[in-house]
Amino acid sequence: EKTLESGRALNVFHQICDALVHAHEQGVIHRDIKPANVIVSTTESGVETARIVDFGIAKILPVANRETHNLTETRQVFGSPHYMSPE
């Protein structure tokens, strides 16, 4: 297993957070964030860019009720169990 230097990891983390904020502002909730769904590429000049992929189970919130946050119903499970919050 590889580890990232802390500054590099923080840069990637910030890019992931920015991407999620952008998606949420557009009414899109990913629902399966995990390492396999983050692609990090490096340009020839050495700049790293993190991208979130696999929006296959994303929830698109209607404009009218984006404030309600009814993302799942009782007994519905979305995402990868290993990366889910316990609740």
Over the stretch 32-86, which tens digit does the pLDDT of each residue have? 888 888 999 999 999 999 998 877 666 777 765 545 455 555 555 555 666 555 5
Q: DSSP letter string over 3-69?
A: ---HHHHHHHHHHHHHHHHHHHHTTEE-----GGGEEEEE-TT--EEEEE---TT-EEPPGGGTTT-
| Helix (H) or strand (E) segment spanning residue 78 | none
Q: Active-site residue numbers?
A: 32
Q: What is the pLDDT of residues 15-32, one digit of tens each?
A: 999 998 998 888 888 778
pLDDT of residue 9: 94
Question: Are 52 and 18 within 8 A, CB to CB?
Answer: no
Section 3-23 average pLDDT? 93
